[in-house]
Amino acid sequence: MIQATTLNWPNLIEFGAGKIKTLKDHLENSKRAFILVDPPIKPMVESLLNEISRTGVEFKISTEVIPEPPINEIKKFFKPVNEFAPDTVVGIGGGSAMDMAKIIAVLFDGKQSVEDVIGIGNVSNRDVKLITSSTTSGTGSEVTPIAVLTDTDAKLKKGIVSPFLVPDVAIIDPELSMTLPAPITAATGMDAMTHCIEAYTNKHAHPIIDNLAIEGIRLIASSLERACNNGNDLEARTALALGSLYGGMCLGPVNTAAVHALAYPLGGEFKISHGVANSVLLPFVMQFNYISSAKKYANVAKACGVKDTGDVEQMASLAVKKVREISNSCKIPSSIKELGIPENAITEMAKAAMKVTRLLDNNPREITLSDAGEIYRNAYDGVIK
């Protein structure tokens, strides 16, 4: 029996090459728009923004995007944005640009603080229109109710989850991702792959989301290496962008699991980018998980292009190897060791990961502290057994 669920996505999703131009239509009724744009993207949208500003919209544009945004840095935006008094907030860029725009949109008026809203369901309102445009294919933030920031004092990444963070309009234009360097394409692409795999194999999986997730896996598996080898391959960039959009659409209703939980300490403590941390851990968490739902992992293998042997358990184990192969093919570090993290950090990282119960609860197989340590140790060596 299909369980009840809530789908909370942007009312408008503009997908495909050239779609950034629709920003003009979506700002038609706006008078004052605060726009946060990733620095490398600004030159690509400059003439469009000039054209839109001639229609009478007043802009305040910032390129002060900080990766894995620290709480203290984001707070600096609230006063000047409040003085500007926008009716629309726009975030154009990768996950950090969009997450910052999402947080600014709900908090600039000063009625709530960052500390008030961390966690699930604590944002009380949003009074301005929110538009996101994703220029990397990975985060999915353009369609999610989630924004992640870094508590630098506690050396932890923290999440804000609220329906008010779901943008009104999401624009996904793969042309804006064509200059993304190969290592970032690879890391963000594997992040999107992780979203799809963790949603599809989730303890709280749902058929509506399964349908998006498995198609996302297929799209990313068939396009990531191509997009890394030739950034101008618009066909591959478009397939990757759609896979990433599907990954994002999974995150609200089902969300991620142990890979993301175990990746958090690598980001919070060692400043490893979210995508790389996920990529390195993904095969090792899959190796731990696959016996718990072999049929689903076998489908992951098939979606990744592994020829069906008819043996479900074998196919499930081949999923692990294939995902690692995809990760290798786009030159992502293959072990925690390569990331420069000392082996003796594992005990503390395992303890920190065990606190991310919100995501561990979604994992198809229960993970104990000692399991977490073993997964980290396997990932440290980087050898799939």
What does the binding site for a copy of itself look like in residue numbers (CB under 8 A)?
1-19, 22, 163, 166, 168, 207-208, 211-212, 215, 234-235, 238-239, 242
Which residue, 6 or 370, is less far from a copy of itself as judged by CB?
Answer: 6
Work out how close the CB of 226 gets to a copy of itself at its nearest, in angstroms, rounded to a whole number: 13
Q: Which is nearer to a copy of itself, 149 or 176 (CB)?
A: 176
Minimum distance of a copy of itself from residue 211's CB (angstroms)? 5
Q: Minimal distance in Å, beta carbon 22 to a copy of itself? A: 8
Alpha carbon distance 363, 253 (integer Å): 15
Quick one: 35 or 170, whose CB is closer to a copy of itself? 170
Bin 93: left if φ > 0, else alpha if -120 < ψ < 50, else beta: left
Instruction: Specify the DSSP class assigned to residue 68.
Output: S
- Complex with a copy of itself: residue 14 or 38, whichever CB lies closer: 14
- For residue 375, the minimal CB distance to a copy of itself (Å) is 33
Q: Shortest Cβ distance from residue 7 to a copy of itself (Å)?
A: 4
Q: Which is nearer to a copy of itself, 33 or 170 (CB)?
A: 170
Residue 100 and residue 103: Cα distance in Å, rounded? Answer: 5
In angstroms, what is the minimal distance from the CB of 119 to a copy of itself?
Answer: 19
- 242 vs 261 by CB, closer to a copy of itself: 242
**d(C-alpha 193, C-alpha 247), whole Å:** 7
Residues 6+ apart with CB under 8 A from 121: 161, 162
Cβ 334 to a copy of itself shortest distance, Å = 30
Distance of alpha carbon 301 from alpha carbon 295, whole angstroms:
10
- The neighbouring-strand residues paired with 159 are 148
Which two tokens mark 278?
A: 């996920």
Residue with Cβ nearer a copy of itself (5 or 82): 5
How far apart CA 385 and CA 383 sit, in angstroms, is 6
**Nearer to a copy of itself (CB atom), residue 251 or residue 285:** 251
In contact, 220 and 243? CB cutoff 8 Å: yes
Q: Is 357 helix (H, G, I), strand (E, B) or coil?
A: helix
16 vs 70 by CB, closer to a copy of itself? 16
48 to each of 20, 53, 140, 168, 195, how far by Cα in Å?
9, 9, 24, 20, 32
Exposure b/e, 277-288, CB count within 10 A at least 16 = b:
bbbbbbbbbbbb
List, in sequence order, the alpha helices (H) in 108-174.
Answer: 114-117
Greatest Cα pair distance in the chain: 63
Q: Do 224 and 183 touch, CB atoms closer than 8 A?
A: no
Ranges of H-type helices in 252-343:
258-270, 274-289, 294-303, 312-329
Nearer to a copy of itself, 166 or 263 (CB): 166
Tokens of 315: 């196919």
Beta-carbon contacts of residue 141 (< 8 Å; ≥ 6 apart)? 95, 98, 99, 102, 132, 134, 147, 248
Distance CA 354, CA 356 (A): 5
Closest approach of a copy of itself to the CB of residue 276, in Å: 27
Give the shortest CB-56-to-a copy of itself separation in angstroms. 19
Q: Minimum CB separation from a copy of itself for residue 68, in Å?
A: 28
